[in-house]
Amino acid sequence: MPLVGKRDPDAFEVFYDRHAGVAYSLAYRIVGSRPAAEEVVQEAFLSIWRSGARFDPAKGSVRAWTLGIVRNRGIDALRRDSSSKAPKLSWDDDAILEASPAPERTEEEALRRSEAAEVRGALRELPEEQAKVIQLAFFGGFSHSEIADMVGEPLGTVKGRMRLGMEKIRARLAEGFA
């Protein structure tokens, strides 16, 4: 990150390659369209490049910092778009984001929303510590070791919570299809 801060193009390329995919996923969840998500990610990464990457490792991981910038840009895009029927967000609430109208009404979108609602329901039934590590991994895109650092637990504990939580989710989802 110090090299990104000095506007080293090679370092920025590595930074972009590592974080652009999860940044796009988050942006898409917030704004709901591919072109808008691409614009949000471009604005976020351009902002990081222009600002000299004011990353502070004492405040968290590079990925969390990057996703925070993407999230803020995504919310700004929703607020700018006066034609958007999306609700005003004060936090990244998955239920609110999922309830936003889709730009295209397709069977795939309907199925995705239905499956997302099922998964959210299963996550709500988990103990908080299991739900948290699963959300950080799957929705935040963090690795097991990054999650261990974030929650202040040993890596084995995080992996165990993830495994137990995923087993409970699988069982819950299997009940719905039986």
- Domain with 121 in it: what CATH number? 1.10.10.10
With cut-offs at 50, 70 and 90, classify the pLDDT of residue 90: very low
Q: What local confidence, expressed as pLDDT, does residue 143 receive?
A: 81
Model pLDDT, residue 163: 93
Its domain, for residue 163, covers 106-178
C-alpha closest to that of 41 among 25, 24, 29: 24
With 0-12 / 13-18 / 19 or more C-beta atoms within 10 angstroms meaning exposed / middle / buried, residue 76 is: middle
Q: What is the pLDDT of residue 84?
A: 46
**Domain check: are 110 and 72 in the same one?**
no
What is the domain count for the chain?
2
Please indicate, yes or no, if residue 60 is contained in any of the structural domains. Answer: yes
Judged by phi (left if over 0) then psi (alpha if -120 to 50, else beta), residue 8 lies in beta
Confidence at residue 89, expressed as pLDDT on a 0 to 100 scale? 46
Residues 77 and 34 in one domain: yes
pLDDT at 42: 92
Could you tell me the end-to-end alpha-carbon distance of the chain, in angstroms, rounded to an integer?
49
Write out pLDDT tens, residues 98-122: 555 545 555 655 566 667 677 778 8
**Residue 100's pLDDT is what?**
53
12-49 tens-digit pLDDT: 888 888 888 888 888 888 888 888 889 999 999 888 88
Answer whether residue 93 is part of any domain: no
